[in-house]
Amino acid sequence: MPPKKKILIRIGSLRHGGAEKVLVTFLKNLPRDKYEIDLLLNLYSGKYLAEVPDFVNILYLNKGEMITTNRLQDIPRKAFRVIYQKLLKTFPFLLYQLILKGKKYDVEFAAIHGFRDEILNSPQKSSKKIIWIHNDLKKTEFHNYTDSEIRKFFGYDKIMVISEKIQQDFENLAQNELEKNKIIRIYNPLDTEEILKKSEDGRRCEDGSQRMEDEILDSQPVFVSVGTVFPQKGFDRLLKVHRKLLDEGFAHKIEILGDGYDLENLKKLQKNLDVSETSTFLGFTENPYPHFKVADFYILSSRYEGFPTVLFEAITLKKKIIATDVSGVNEMLENGNLGLIVENSEEGIYKGMKRALQNPESFDVFSENLKDYKMPFNLENSVNSIIKIIDDL
């Protein structure tokens, strides 16, 4: 029996983001005895820590929750983390000696694009290197990723991308066939059976109390949205559109599930717009799917994405979908066959939601198309594709 490949995987933390969830889903579905895996976190924190299988060895640079404020008492700890992590990034041999104890790896794997340089600058020059790109780096929000910056990713042996759009962007920058062959599109591992099963559970409020379906939101249409609460997700736009539609006499409610550093700002906006009675921040929940199930519409208000996995979850649950035209959406919604794609703007979100409220029967065509829709991938195929990449290196 050949020795197990030794793999180092790097990611910031296991907070409740899409890339983190996808990584943990992948790890949970790996054969237990096939690899020797070290998972190195910058910060030992996050909701998905508990889901990491026990055969994965977790290492970390710092412990504790993310510090998102600049309170006086937090500054020394925050500064220490920044300096310590910068030191280890600048002098990677220290990291490999002190934290990784001089261990030799066959494969080093950056689980998000932000760890490009950490893996490329590894002192272990003989290891094979893989990176997983979850975002559209050509978007203006990633303005520091010029073409020359994106070209640096070709220092990897394999570049895993999660959408057709991202694949095309990288292929356009490839300078030869060798580089083009480094780019592989992999659909994110998603456990559709688990989603369907979990959607049958009862809903819970932010305080953990049970919430029965017949108590929910009277007869007004409900729009649900799920995601880490920061500006990328466009929840501020969603709240402003919500206010505008209420002012026009369209009764409806908004539910936002997730947590993140922008939550307090959004709660202030919610108060300023006077929509606290009609919109709800439910916080992070381990199981958002019952909320999907009972809502009338799923809305993606994002400013940018790579390949919004949450849409596949909404598709799995046959929801009526409104989504801004960000990377991956046309591919996932089959160019508007499975849901309404709107302009990536506040006005686009407004028009989409107004159509849903004014002419809900126009969404029946999407429901009909979703009835017999089969996902273009399954969990096993996605995991096996990544295993093949690792094994073939």
99-140, pLDDT tens digit by residue? 999 999 999 999 999 999 999 999 999 999 999 998 888 875
121, 214: one domain = no
Beta strands 5-11; 35-44: pairing state: parallel
Domain limits at 280?
A: 192-371
| Averaged pLDDT, 261-289 | 93
337 alpha carbon, distance to own chain's centre: 23
Q: Which residues pair with 107 in a beta bridge?
A: 7, 128
In this prediction the pTM is 0.77
Please indicate, yes or no, whether residues 212 and 275 belong to a single structural domain of this protein: yes
Beta strands (DSSP E) in the chain are 5-11, 35-44, 56-63, 107-110, 128-133, 158-161, 183-185, 203-204, 210-211, 222-226, 253-257, 279-283, 297-300, 320-324, 340-342
Q: What's the number of domains the chain is made of? A: 2
Residue 5 pairs in a beta bridge with 35
- Report residue 211's pLDDT band, with 50, 70 and 90 as the boundaries: very low
**Are residues 201 and 176 part of one domain?**
no
pLDDT one-digit tens code per residue, 197-209: 999 886 544 444 4
Q: Identify whether residues 59 and 69 lie together within a single domain.
A: yes
Do 214 and 173 belong together in one domain?
no
Interacting residues of 46 by C-beta distance below 8 A, sequence separation 6+: 13, 14, 15, 16, 20
Q: What is the CA radius of gyration of the chain?
A: 22
95 & 238 share domain:
no
Does residue 249 share a domain with residue 263?
A: yes
Q: Identify whether residues 98 and 118 lie together within a single domain.
A: yes
Contact present, 104 and 124 (Cβ < 8 Å): yes
Q: What CATH number has the domain bearing residue 301? A: 3.40.50.2000
Query: What is the identity of the amino acid at 368?
Result: E
How far apart CA 135 and CA 223 sit, in angstroms, is: 25
